[in-house]
Structure 1
Amino acid sequence: MNLNKYTAWARMGYAARGVIYLTIGSLAILSVLGASGSDADSKGAVMTIKSQPFGEALLVVLVIGLIGYILWRAIQGIGDADDHGTSVKGLAIRGGLVISAITHSLLCFWIIKLLLHSTDDASGQSASSTVSDYAGSDVTAWLVGLVGVIVIGVGLAHLYKGYTCGFKKYMAFPADKSEWMTRVCQFGLLARGVVWGIVGWVVLRSAIVAGSSDTKGISDAFEWLRTSPFGTWLILIVAAGLFAFGVYSFLEALYRRISK
């Protein structure tokens, strides 16, 4: 597959993801300082961007970037752009890339609805409650529990990728900057792995123990950290890590090898 024509879309996509995670990390840090009223998650990041001068124009640019990211993730997963192959491990990685394309498509759709002033978040009706209208609560709770297990797996994959520096084979860092760039990427991946692990645990526990099918996200992970010993310090460390993951995303936009 000739990937040259997708390079610009992929790089815009990584940059868009970088904007989101830089904002999430900043919101989490500000929340500890008592200076933020927005949730430290993707939607909170989007609302923060929208509140800035020319916010809606910025969101249009973000949507374009996310479309690029969705396209690139789909090519990675379905077209196997990174040569993961058809082994069990390779198919698991490619499946995760396809899921990433789907989840970011949902975020992109939500932003478009926000720009069209047609979101219904204010009604308080979550997606999970709509699902429960069509399936029994026990069934949906178990399905959400399965999602929790998958999210934990994603978190572990990020921890492994960060610990082993598995990302480096896809990057073309300048030789004189490689060391600090590698450390920033490691920190960001490890922090994101911790967050997804916590999100998965919160989802799994609420679904299986409490029988809940409510949606959970990054803000719930921070809330879990907040109630832990040394919660404030843990939030600051993880928030800094998510900020670092935003930097990692921008480094991917600049230095990731896209073409074979």
Structure 2
Amino acid sequence: MPDKAPAWVVPVMRAGYAARGAVYIIVGGLSLSAAIYGGQAQGTTDALSTLRDEPWGIALLWAIAIGMMAYMVWRLIDAAMDLECEGSDAKGLAARAGQAITGLIHGAIGASLAATAMGAGSQGGGAQTATQKLMAMPWGPYLVMVVGIVTIGAGFYYGYKGIAETYKADIRVTDLTQKLNPAMKAGFIAEGVVVAIIGGLIFFAGLNHNPGDAGGVGEALSTLRAAPYGAILMGVIAAGLVGFGIENLVEARYRIVPRHSGEDVMTFARRAKLKAEGKLREATA
């Protein structure tokens, strides 16, 4: 494993986070509008497919699709080369496996968006289709339940990252990133809620032997809406998803790759460490 990451990884990473940020801002914005004015919450691909009829919409779809592919490449390279210094122990390998899986999921979304841009129509129902294929395998329902439990765990992890603010570790300290931190924090918590609900839907699909019970972002938001005070809950989480989009745009601009940037860049994590050691004034002088 090389000590330094190749320079080309950085622009690929930035393109990926920028596309991811655009996705969540669009999905969150449309869901927030549905919560306020009425209407059906839409999943990721369905929401983005509405761009086709807008001026420059197809070009924007292609840009987001390519960006999502870039995010996949970034995460796969990140996991393979351990660009974030996760390590090779059990905890590190689990984190790197999560990076790779996250990348593949976003790559699939990118491929779906590219098909939409080419006029193939919306590729909705992805979660249900994947669940149906998995359920057809030996021990399929149990595998689906395991995937659901893992997804619920991922949701709790996102929520923990938001509450503990661990997402700031590799982000540069600037006036802007400090001002946007409340939106970033809320974004991770909201993403955690949505992912955990998706995991619950997948789990019950396996438990009930019914792939139709599974669902993605649109179904998760609809589940929230069906709860007491559902429109308010859905609106709060939708606003949080916009915050998660903002967080990704911040990462697109201010995130570093530890194995590329070295240890001297003033990130939130380094600032906290220096402050704890009483060296912050010296470092910033």
**Equivalent runs, 1:175-254 vs 2, <5 Å:** 176-208=175-207, 210-214=208-212, 215-254=214-253
1:31 alignment counterpart: 34
Q: 1:254 to 1:149 in 2, by over 3 A?
A: same
Contact 1:144 1:213 in 2 (8 A): no
Residue in structure 2 matched with residue 109 of structure 1 by the alignment = 111
Contact 2:46 2:122 in 1 (8 A): no
Question: What residue identity is the alignment partner of 1:154?
Answer: A
Distance 1:77 1:141, change over 3 A: same
Q: Which residue of 2 aligns with 1:13?
A: 16
8 Å CA contact retained: 2:82, 2:96: yes
SS of the counterpart of 2:8? Answer: helix
Distance 1:8 1:128 in 2: 31
Report the AA paired with residue 141 of structure 1: P
Does the CA-based 8 Å contact 1:27-1:36 persist in structure 2?
A: no
Tell me the distance in 2 between the aligned counterparts of 1:64 and 1:219. 23
Match of 1:83 in 2: 85
**1:44–1:173: structure 2 CA closer, same or farther, 3 Å change rule?**
farther
Which is worse superposed, 237-246 or 153-162?
153-162
Q: How has the CA–CA distance of structure 1 residues 98 and 256 changed in structure 2, closer, same or farther, with 3 Å as cutoff? A: same
CA 1:48/1:235 → structure 2, altered by over 3 Å: closer, same or farther?
Answer: same
Deviation at 1:132, TM superposition (A): 6.7
Alpha-carbon offset, residue 143 of structure 1:
1.9
Amino acid at match of 1:94: R
Does the Cα contact within 8 Å between 1:140 and 1:213 map onto a contact in 2?
Answer: no
Task: Give the aligned residue type for 1:180.
Answer: K
Structure 1 residues 50-97: Cα deviation after superposition (integer angstroms, max 9, x where no partner): 232121111111122112111111112121110001122211111111
2:48 and 2:61 in contact (8 A); partners too: yes
Q: Taking structure 1 as reference, are residues 141 and 120 closer, same or farther at Cα in structure 2, changes over 3 Å only?
A: farther
How many residues align? The count is 255
Decide whether the 8 Å contact of 2:46 with 2:123 is kept in 1: no
1:95 maps to 2:97:
yes
CA RMSD of aligned residues (A): 2.4
Once the 2 structures are TM-superposed, how far is the Cα of residue 178 of structure 1 from its aligned partner? 4.0
1:50 aligned partner: 52
Distance 1:59 1:86 in 2: 37
Per mean C-alpha deviation after superposition, the further-off stretch among 109-118 and 145-154 is 109-118
- Matches of 2:230 and 2:86 in 1, distance apart? 38
Structure of greater Rg: 2
Is contact 1:24–1:44 with CA below 8 Å preserved after alignment? no
- In structure 2, what residue type is equivalent to 1:213? P
- 1:140 deviates by 2.6
CA distance in 1, matches of 2:230, 2:122: 33
Q: In 2 relative to 1, CA 133–154 (structure 1 residues): closer, same or farther, beyond 3 Å?
A: closer
Q: What secondary structure sits across from 2:169 in the alignment?
A: helix
- Relative to structure 2, which stretch is displaced further, 40-49 or 98-107? 40-49
Q: Tell me, which stretches of 5 or more residues in structure 1 are unaligned?
A: none
1:86–1:141 distance in 2 versus 1, CA, 3 Å:
same
State the TM-score, normalized to the length of structure 1: 0.89
CA distance in 2, matches of 1:100, 1:132: 18
SS of match in other structure, 2:22: helix
Which stretches in structure 2 are left out of the alignment for 5+ residues? 262-285
Give runs of ≥4 in structure 1 deviating > 3 Å: 34-37, 118-124, 132-136
User: Compared with structure 1, are the counterparts of its residues 177 and 54 closer, same or farther at alpha carbon in structure 2 (3 Å cutoff)?
Assistant: closer
Give 1:21's aligned amino acid: Y
Percent identical residues = 28
Q: Deviations over 1:171-191 (max 9, x none)?
A: 0031x3343222221110011
TM-score, normalised to structure 2, is 0.82
CA separation in 1, counterparts of 2:135 and 2:153?
A: 28
Q: Say whether the 8 Å CA contact 2:5–2:83 is kept in structure 1.
A: no
